[in-house]
A and B are shown apart, each in its own frame.
Chain A
Amino acid sequence: MTEITGYLRPDGKVGVRNHVLVLATVSCVNGVIQRISREVPEAVCVPHAFGCGRGGPRDLQILFRILSGMVRHPNVGAAVLIGLGCEVSNTRNLAPLIRDCGKSVEILNVQEWGSLQTSRKGAETARRFLAETQAQPRVPISWDRLMVAMECGGSDAMSGVTANTALGAVSDWLVEKGGTVIFGENTEMIGTDHILARRAKNAQVAGSIVQMVRRADQLAHDVMGNLAGLVISPGNMDGGMSTIAEKSMGCIFKGGSTTINQVVDYGEPPTEKGLVLQDGPGYDGDSMAGLAVSGAQVMFFSTGRGTPAGFPALPVIKVASNSRIYRAMADDMDLNAGTLVEGKSREVLRDEMIALLARVVNGEKTKAEANGMEVFTFMTVHPPF
């Protein structure tokens, strides 16, 4: 098998990219992030819609976990945090959560410097960090240091037949190699909790699985009422799905067939290796953030209707479920699992996916990376005040 390489982090993690992250702590400073992005396009500049205006304990937990988790992400080599000053997730509150990661982190607040000076200082720092990170060498790493996220979005009737079975084969292979596979999207587990629970490593994990799926089911009913039935929709049925269990099987199959070792909260890093489930939502952008912040260094993302979405600092490998979308969105798709119904064997496709995974780990850009298709958003539970 191909040798893979990565970057050793001071906290013992391994990255497959060495990005300089420029992160807003609150939406008020997005203009500064955009100015820095124009001046230093090589940096991963992340504006967003969050940082203040929500006060519930769950929203605060997620806010701090995601923002600090972006800085701590193993694919980030150094970071510039752009704060405002009076926001909830201000840099004074964030600093203790990132201090021990051992990376170069510079903090700038717009209420101390104004937007133009902050932009200039931020760009200067980003350039300095780029020079630093570019000098750091890749070193050989073993497959068991990898955590790969499995995601599906913009699904079609073939997603569960071709693309997710292919993702499942890669999942089983990586777990066999000692690595970690993580997937979430709890609404897409509804109807399969008993199947997932049977695969849990012990009764406690089985209990967490059942609890997670029941809660997702209940929440869908509480929020959507009768429309909750749309988790299996008329369109799904027209596509050949007869039951919610059948639809969900097509989703969870992307995690393969191995023992489920742990259930983690949204954005929480696992302490176990092997197959791990995340209690997170099905919406693509929110799901990607949770999986990335849990520590996944690479993501496979299957799609049948087609989506270009990637995620900051995270290589996202797009797997088309059919030849139509692979060709129509040729600039966005990395692999075509539609070939599975055109005579290609599952083994050959799986080996091609593993070979691409190795190249991506070693630095080859995915289409989403090359095209700059990053999306950054994350889950909230209450409206802003």
Chain B
Amino acid sequence: MGFERRFPLIGGPLTDNVLIIHPRDNVAVALRDLTPGEEAKGTGLSGLPVLHAIPAGHKIALRDLASGEEIVKYGEVVAVAARAIHKGEWVHTHNLESKRWRK
């Protein structure tokens, strides 16, 4: 049996499927692959509809973000929205840009 089968990444019952790292954050981290239509659940968050397929470890928007709005994770600005992003949307390189190397 393969390594990944013998040792599942998540070892216990998973009630939450996202994690909000810092109270100031406007994105949460997916703890497993999320599928459109299901609900994102985590401490301080109940019933946020997931709009896209979001891979584990990736970000989901916790509220609507305007184009140019700062994306906050770890309580700090890690990027800015390159276009309007809806609550429940996957947040990644396709819809944000780095403040550091802003085009």
Please give the residue numbers on chain A whose beta carbons come within 8 Å of chain B beta carbons, in ascending order. 157-158, 160-161, 165, 191-192, 195, 237-240, 242-246, 249-250, 253, 257, 322-328, 336, 338-343
* Residue pair B7, A324 in contact (C-beta under 8 Å): yes
If the complex has contacts A161-B19, A324-B9, are A245 and B77 also in contact, measured as CB distance less than 8 A? yes
Contacts of A157 in B (CB 8 A): 56-57
Contact code string B68-90 (vs A, CB < 8 Å = 1, else 0): 00000111111100000000000
Roughly how many angstroms separate A327 CA and B12 CA in the complex, as a whole number?
12
* Residue pair B10, A338 in contact (C-beta under 8 Å): yes
Contacts of B12 in A (CB 8 A): 323, 339, 342-343
Most buried by B among A195, A242, A327, A338: A242
Return the contact of A195 from the options B13, B76, B98 (Cβ within 8 A). Answer: B76
Return the contact of A341 from the options B3, B16, B91, B100 (Cβ within 8 A). Answer: B16
Q: For chains A and B in complex, what number of residue pairs have CB atoms within 8 angstroms? A: 104
What's the minimum C-beta distance from A383 to chain B, rounded to whole angstroms? 32
Q: Is B96 an interface residue (CB 8 A)?
A: yes
* Residue pair B78, A161 in contact (C-beta under 8 Å): no
* Residue pair A327, B7 in contact (C-beta under 8 Å): yes
Q: What DSSP secondary structure best describes chain B's contact surface?
A: loop
* Residue pair A341, B31 in contact (C-beta under 8 Å): yes
Contacts of B55 in A (CB 8 A): 238, 240
The 7 tightest CB contacts between A and B, nearest first, are A323-B11, A240-B57, A342-B12, A157-B57, A240-B58, A246-B78, A249-B74
Return the contact of A322 from the options B9, B16, B77 (Cβ within 8 A). Answer: B9
* Residue pair B100, A324 in contact (C-beta under 8 Å): no
In the complex, the chain A residue whose C-beta lies closest to that of B21 is A165
* Residue pair B11, A324 in contact (C-beta under 8 Å): yes
* Residue pair A242, B19 in contact (C-beta under 8 Å): no
Contacts of A323 in B (CB 8 A): 7-12
What's the minimum C-beta distance from B62 to chain A, rounded to whole angstroms? 15
Please give the residue numbers on chain B whose beta carbons come within 8 Å of chain A beta carbons, in ascending order. 3-4, 6-16, 19, 21, 29-31, 55-59, 73-79, 91-93, 96, 98-100
A-B contacts, 16 listed (Cβ < 8 Å):
A157-B57, A240-B55, A240-B58, A242-B59, A242-B92, A243-B98, A244-B100, A245-B99, A246-B79, A322-B11, A325-B7, A326-B11, A328-B6, A341-B14, A342-B12, A343-B15
Q: Given contacts A161-B29, A243-B98, list 19 more A-B pairs with CB under 8 A.
A: A158-B9, A191-B98, A240-B29, A240-B55, A242-B59, A245-B76, A245-B77, A249-B74, A249-B78, A322-B9, A323-B10, A328-B6, A336-B11, A339-B12, A341-B16, A341-B19, A341-B31, A342-B12, A343-B16
Contacts of A325 in B (CB 8 A): 7
In the complex, the chain B residue whose C-beta lies closest to that of A165 is B21
Most buried by A among B4, B6, B11, B16: B11
Contacts of A257 in B (CB 8 A): 75
Most buried by A among B21, B74, B77: B74
Return the contact of B93 from the options A158, A237, A341, A343 (Cβ within 8 A). Answer: A237
In the complex, the chain A residue whose C-beta lies closest to that of B43 is A345
In the complex, the chain A residue whose C-beta lies closest to that of B74 is A249
Return the contact of A242 from the options B7, B21, B96 (Cβ within 8 A). Answer: B96
If the complex has contacts A253-B74, A322-B9, A324-B4, are A245 and B57 also in contact, measured as CB distance less than 8 A? no
